[in-house]
Structure 1
């Protein structure tokens, strides 16, 4: 029984941060503390990012913050993005919030207890018996892994309406105290955003959007790679783990993982009309094109999302998917994302012409 994505939407926070202003602020805050900072300035220009969006205004980052400050900004920003993305996805699916049977919330950039969907239950008008499934720790792979979780829950309860919300506020974790290269690269790359999707096996079509069928999902975790990506928990906040080897690792190891995911679905690369990839950074996008023998610049939507929004962690791949669908892409697609673990997450999607 096919699971279909019946509504897909994205949302951004209120504060636009042009990359040149971020670079100038980083020079003021980090330059006097980090002796090699000047050597990293070209990274701001080479990252392929024109702007990103944040739950906090630029001046917030020029003051010191602890856990409580950071998490409060996370909560305020993610609640709004959750509501905006979920409301738009429900509207596109033609669903009411009180019809939703399962809400899955994917987020790894802050702590919310009660979880976000509980905090928003009244204003969203979720039912009192809605099943809540919060998921933490998937990082950049969370959007695609979230689709897989949502699809399995929809298959387990045929006809149920499953709402997936993937929301991250990466920017409040900006650190000016650790003075590690990974923190500066995070400052170059990361932004905030949310995406939501409505999934069900129900064949009754309400929304106006063409339906997108989920045909298969797959995950691959490489051994002895825990140190490539993740968070350190420090007294003042989360500290990014972001290894410089990621582009090289993707270039060497991504294609066999893709082939394994496709083989599990009875497919080959030639069967895929469009690869839809998480743009972790300009070098990662280039590494994926090289690894999969794709024509240069074929991942145009990935580069466009990176330019307009930065790397938002988990929802970013769904931003790319939204753009690919808006451009009229049909046929079979493989969505891909790399995340902590070190993990590759995949979903095979199909859209009829």
Structure 2
């Protein structure tokens, strides 16, 4: 347990270009049906993924040309900073704060390389102080929303009075490629979108919820389940093992252990707020955690409207849940490369 930390605000941001799933499927068929013999067998994933639309940082035509590391990185540096500024500004506005009042900045992003990191590139636009502590975190993938929120909460608890800004930014669409296509690339094309989310935290009371605990579990010998591969043209997605069966078989014992550490059981949690990795992942989560089928409605809605945006996605779900009215006790949960389950326990503000 940690000293209660107030979640003062939460904001989301999406890039300007919206893609309809039916259009993405048609483009993928036009590009790959003749070059990838298994395409038609895999094409139903565009229907079963649970995605209707998603937002990306470039118009669809940009993705239809071969792109290398320099071009992808150039777009990442421009668009990720824009999304960072958008989400962070909204979160600070909601908290009634300015960039100059931020003491610690935690930035989570795993879909591009930025050195200097994103928060450094955004300092001038955000008005951050030169002495603000910067903590960029890479490699968390889809677990980054929960893990980053937990890290920000621990830093706020350890530094009473400090304003901690947490920002998650992912541009999954930049991994789209036209050559060396794999089954994982087809699934990623049907599933992933771009987005950002930000929270402002400070030790003490206030805000819409208190963060009271953060914990994670990583399973040994699971490096092949999810991650990035480094290709000559950019980052390529790894799905070497199916995630839903693994989650179904392994998540419940891990969740029981993480909750037990804070004196809770599954039945004490009023709402799990989950990262929606895909429809089958959502169904596996409902079954594993004994949640009624179809109860993860916010998760399905976010997936349908935005796709899987990796780290920010769980925060999009949390934003929907808080606008609908958070119950007394909720747990933000996400699965990501490692293979890791990450959780953050929230208490509704009085």
The bucket for the TM-score relative to the shorter chain is over 0.9
Residue 89 of structure 1 pairs with residue 65 of structure 2: no
- How far did 1:202 drift? 4.4
Match of 1:305 in 2: 302
- How far did 1:148 drift? 1.2
SS in 2 for 1:313: coil
Match of 1:44 in 2: 46
Q: What is the CA–CA distance in structure 2 between the aligned matches of 1:152 and 1:304, rounded to whole Å?
A: 30
- How far did 1:72 drift? 1.2
Alignment of 1:287-306 (within 5 A): 287-306=284-303
Residue 78 of structure 1 pairs with residue 76 of structure 2: no
Residue 105 of structure 1 pairs with residue 91 of structure 2: no
Q: What is the CA–CA distance in structure 1 between the aligned matches of 2:240 and 2:294, rounded to whole Å?
A: 25
Match of 2:281 in 1: 284
- How far did 1:156 drift? 1.5
Q: TM-score, normalised by structure 1?
A: 0.97
- How far did 1:211 drift? 2.3
Q: What is the CA–CA distance in structure 1 between the aligned matches of 2:265 and 2:49, rounded to whole Å?
A: 32
Q: What is the CA–CA distance in structure 2 between the aligned matches of 1:125 and 1:352, rounded to whole Å?
A: 29
Match of 1:324 in 2: 321
- How far did 1:244 drift? 4.2
SS in 2 for 1:143: helix
Q: What is the CA–CA distance in structure 2 between the aligned matches of 1:332 and 1:133, rounded to whole Å?
A: 29
1:236 to 210, 217, 233: 233
Q: Which runs of 4+ in 1 moved over 2 A?
A: none
2:141/2:310 contact within 8 Å kept: yes
Q: What is the CA–CA distance in structure 1 between the aligned matches of 2:101 and 2:4, rounded to whole Å?
A: 20
Q: What is the CA–CA distance in structure 2 between the aligned matches of 1:217 and 1:153, rounded to whole Å?
A: 12
2:224/2:241 contact within 8 Å kept: no
Match of 2:269 in 1: 272
Match of 1:199 in 2: 201
Alignment of 1:1-353 (within 5 A): 1-203=3-205, 205=206, 210-352=207-349
2:210/2:346 contact within 8 Å kept: yes
The gaps in structure 1 that reach 5 residues or longer are none
- How far did 1:30 drift? 1.7
The gaps in structure 2 that reach 5 residues or longer are none
Q: What is the CA–CA distance in structure 2 between the aligned matches of 1:347 and 1:264, rounded to whole Å?
A: 12
1:56/1:172 contact within 8 Å kept: no
SS in 2 for 1:25: helix
Question: Per-residue displacement from partner, 1:86-142 (whole Å, max 9, x unpaired)?
Answer: 000001111111000001110000011111111110111000111000000000000
Q: What is the CA–CA distance in structure 2 between the aligned matches of 1:214 and 1:202, rounded to whole Å?
A: 10
Question: Per-residue displacement from partner, 1:164-196 (whole Å, max 9, x unpaired)?
Answer: 000000001102212210011000100000000
Q: What is the CA–CA distance in structure 1 between the aligned matches of 2:116 and 2:32, rounded to whole Å?
A: 35
Q: What is the CA–CA distance in structure 2 between the aligned matches of 1:174 and 1:24, rounded to whole Å?
A: 15
Q: What is the CA–CA distance in structure 1 between the aligned matches of 2:154 and 2:187, rounded to whole Å?
A: 35
Cα RMSD (Å)? 1.0
- How far did 1:329 drift? 2.1
SS in 1 for 2:35: coil
Count of residues in correspondence between the two structures: 348
2:273/2:330 contact within 8 Å kept: yes
Q: TM-score, normalised by structure 2?
A: 0.98
